[in-house]
Amino acid sequence: MSELLTQSRPYAEAIFDIAKEEQTLDAWVSDLSIVVSAMQEEAVKILINTPDLSQRNKAEIFTSLFEDEISKKVSNFILVIGQANRINLLESVLESFKRLVALEKNQKNVMVASSYSLEQDQLDKIQTALQKRTGSEINISTHLDKSLIGGIKISYEDQVIDLSLKNKLEALKAQLRN
């Protein structure tokens, strides 16, 4: 994991500088998100991992999948990273890039995990509380995690607020052992 971050950070910083200068940070996030989500498709995974094609051909075919969907600069970036046999770094590049954008805009990307789908008013209350706590704009993404049993688990940066039933049961179990 840390090796991926180490390898992807220079790419993220380079495209961040370009996007910031051109005031296209959100467009880059959007375009890279499209590419990364396409990488989850089985046919795309096969293309990326096939030894039958040169890196140049793979990069050209891969980039052609997004013609008219992403900007020319993002397309060129994917060509460059693909020809360097680094397409597999794109997800990590996107995450590093999002962190840089969040820092620039004084935003925090927050992951809220719960064992059930949260309603919008619940998410709004969480967002408001976190904005007061951090003094930053909050971007929430959600994740269903049935192992939590109940409650929620909030993660951002290096902070974790675990309000899950699973955590409470583990704490009770530890108390009973002592």
Residue 122 and residue 163 in one domain: yes
Average pLDDT over the chain, rounded to whole?
91
- pLDDT of amino acid 49: 86
Residue 148 CB-density burial (10 A; 0-12 exposed, 13-18 middle, 19+ buried)? buried
| Chosen domain end from 44, 73, 102 | 102
- At position 13, the amino acid (one-letter code) is E
Other CB atoms within a 10 A radius of the CB of residue 13 amount to 14
| Residue 144: closest CA among 129, 164, 169 | 164
Residue 150 and residue 87 in one domain: no
Asked if the model's pLDDT at residue 92 lies above 70, the reply is yes
Range of the domain at 78: 2-102
- At position 35, the amino acid (one-letter code) is V
Residue 70 and residue 156 in one domain: no
| Chosen domain end from 53, 70, 102 | 102
Dump pLDDT digits (tens) for 112-157: 999 999 999 999 999 999 999 999 999 998 999 999 989 999 999 8
Rounded CA gap, 55 and 111, in Å? 35
Residue 74 and residue 22 in one domain: yes
The DSSP result for 64-118, as a single string, is: HTTTTTS-HHHHHHHHHHHHTT-GGGHHHHHHHHHHHHHHHTTEEEEEEEESSPP
Give the number of C-alpha atoms closer than 13 A to the C-alpha of residue 129, restricted to the C-beta side: 9
Residue 96 and residue 171 in one domain: no
- pLDDT of amino acid 158: 86
What CATH number is attached to the domain comprising 156?
A: 3.40.30
Assess contact for 152 and 118: CB atoms under 8 A.
Answer: yes
- pLDDT of amino acid 26: 94
Rounded CA gap, 151 and 162, in Å? 8
Q: pTM score, two decimals?
A: 0.72
Asked if the model's pLDDT at residue 1 lies above 60, the reply is no
| Chosen domain end from 84, 102, 120 | 102
What CATH number is attached to the domain comprising 41?
A: 1.10.520.20
Residue 111 and residue 149 in one domain: yes
- pLDDT of amino acid 2: 67
Dump pLDDT digits (tens) for 20-59: 999 999 999 999 999 999 998 998 888 888 888 888 888 8
Give the number of domains in the chain: 2
Residue 15 and residue 67 in one domain: yes
Residue 146 and residue 98 in one domain: no
Give the percent of the chain with pLDDT over 90: 68
Assigned token pair, 97: 């890039």
Label the pairing between strands 151-156 and 107-114.
antiparallel
Label the pairing between strands 107-114 and 137-144.
parallel
